[in-house]
Amino acid sequence: MEFKFTDENFNQEALESKNLVIVDFYADWCGPCKMMAPIIEELANEYNGSVKIGKLNVDDNPATAQKYRVMSIPTILFLKNGAVVDTIIGAVSKNQIEGKIETNK
């Protein structure tokens, strides 16, 4: 199951992680975000233990979304050693996300 990131736990759970971290910035009302939800969950299960994959609700956690200048959703950030190493904006295929995981792992 995907991890739930919040403004409160983001530094510890995302920025201080030793593994690659993938954060899906979404909102409950966003159609493309709903399309991405099963893909994110599937990847979280497949990469469990080697890559931390989770979601951050931009409506409930505006500080983190603002910090990373998330202007449209879904936005997927790839973080490694506390820094953004890649970004995907918009709904994409599972294969596209997997390709970025393998490139940045």
Mean pLDDT, rounded, for 93-104: 96
Which residue among the candidates 30, 70, 76, 77 is catalytic per the annotation? Answer: 30
pLDDT of residue 5: 98
Q: If we measure between CA atoms, which residue out of 59, 91, 64 comes closest to residue 79?
A: 64
pLDDT of residue 1: 82
Q: Give catalytic status of residue 63 as yes or no.
A: no
Residue pLDDT, tens place only, 4-28: 999 999 999 999 999 999 999 999 9
Contact of 65 with 6, CB cutoff 8 Å: no
Q: Give catalytic status of residue 30 as yes or no.
A: yes
The CATH number that domain 3-104 falls under is 3.40.30.10
Which residue among the candidates 14, 21, 22, 33 is catalytic per the annotation? Answer: 33
In angstroms, the CA 72 to CA 50 distance is 28
Residue pLDDT, tens place only, 36-93: 999 999 999 999 989 999 999 999 999 999 999 999 999 999 999 999 999 999 999 9
pTM: 0.95
pLDDT of residue 47: 96
Q: What are the boundaries of each domain within the chain?
A: 3-104
